[in-house]
Amino acid sequence: MGVLFDTLRKLVMDGRYVVGVHASERLEERGILEWQIVDGIERGTLLAERPLDQPNPSVEVEQWLADGTAVKAVWSQIVSADIAKLVTVHFFDE
């Protein structure tokens, strides 16, 4: 377990990612800056890996904001474009 997560983390760290509309709305709604999630994947902890998800394989990652708050980020791999996509972000108490 973790192969998909390693792939997604590398894509994000290489700047090969997009932020979905839903994720963008959730970031704004929760007052989280995009850079915190992008930067946080490097030190994130894999919670679940779902390689069979449709339409794209995805992972759930525990990440930490600059102030130490833990969040769950869902990232997917758009295989056809070889990019990562931020699907959503939420606090664990939601």
42-71 pLDDT, tens digit per residue, is: 999 999 999 999 999 999 999 999 999 999
d(CA 36, CA 48): 20
Q: What is the pLDDT of residue 93?
A: 84
Domain boundaries defined on the chain: 3-91
Predicted TM-score (pTM) of this structure: 0.94
For domain 3-91, the CATH class is alpha beta
Mean pLDDT of 79-87: 97
Terminal alpha carbon distance of the chain: 27
